[in-house]
Amino acid sequence: MEAGDLLNQTTLVTHIRLRGLSVDQRVQMAVFAMFLTFYVLTLAGNILIVITIIYDRRLHTPMYFFLSNLSFIDVCHSTVTVPKMLVDTWAEEKLISFDGCVTQMFFLHLFACTEIFLLTVMAYDRYVAICKPLQYLTVMSWRVCVLLAVALWVGGTIHSISLTSLTITLPYCGPDEIDSFFCDVPQVIKLACTDTHIIEILIVSNSGLISVVCFVVLVVSYAVILVSLRQQISEGRRKALSTCAAHLTVVTLFLGHCIFIYSRPSTSLPEDKVVSVFFHGRYPPAEPHHLYS
């Protein structure tokens, strides 16, 4: 197939139909209320965290620097999918342009991958703070923090560009409907009128491997922290455990979704929508800060 023919086939699908979560109007209204509530709470909570950290000089520390980045990413990540889903709840036909779908996929993976890297960096920050407290300010200097922040954003961008590029190079000549309420690579590539076996392997190798490796690194880091806590006094141990438990909960929920979706071939399961609902409609739990205050 020549390049011109491939391009013509690719542009045949100009819009993609989203099935949404349900065809039952009552269920859609309940979902709308739930997502709207969580989205408002997510925006209000995370924006408040960022503003507080910016204006309170006592919070100008590496821990809060990464926390403000996490809050910013949470706002952006939720905004990629939730507003469109809320609008579609009231629409008879849930459509998104092909370009809009690609844009949604790009930013979805940009913020998701960046958050995975950030959670890993925050685990390292906790490891240094708990296991090597006397060296903390030296190891986690502002120069190191800025370099880590730049690196995780660059890594997320490279990941997102690679997946999006693989997706848009496929020919799309129909069908034009995906069984979801947002565009994601595993669902979209199933619309391609060509064999996507190699692409699916690359997706699992990329997204799945990143999720699994980061999860293993995080679990190992927390195992080391727990061993170190055995030598600390009870009050310090309680605070450290509280901090680590909250972070590990966020990590498990976030990476659990990524591993479930991206560590297998692009086959639809009934559980996919349920997992995606809790993932995109989540309200981030508050991070305990008393260990670092």
Q: What share of the chain is helix, strand, coil (3-state, %, to 5)?
A: 75, 5, 20
Radius of gyration of the chain (CA): 21
State the chain's mean pLDDT as an integer: 78
Residue 235 has pLDDT above 80, yes or no: no
**Residue where the block lists tokens 């391009």:** 7
Q: What is the domain extent for residue 39?
A: 3-292
Residue 57 has pLDDT above 50, yes or no: yes
pLDDT in tens, 99-133: 999 999 999 999 988 998 998 898 888 888 888 88
DSSP SS3 for 224: helix
Residue 80 identity (one-letter amino acid)? V
DSSP SS3 for 94: coil
Cα(83)–Cα(156) distance, integer angstroms: 23
Percent of the chain with pLDDT over 90: 22
Number of domains the chain contains? 1
Closest by alpha carbon to 250, among 77, 27, 17?
77
Residue 25 has pLDDT above 80, yes or no: no
CB 265, CB 187: distance < 8 Å? no
**Residue where the block lists tokens 């009128």:** 193
Cα(271)–Cα(282) distance, integer angstroms: 17
Cα(112)–Cα(74) distance, integer angstroms: 9
Q: What is the domain-level CATH number for residue 93?
A: 1.20.1070.10
Q: pTM here?
A: 0.80
pLDDT in tens, 71-102: 999 899 889 988 988 888 887 788 889 999 99
Residue 150 has pLDDT above 90, yes or no: yes
DSSP SS3 for 272: helix
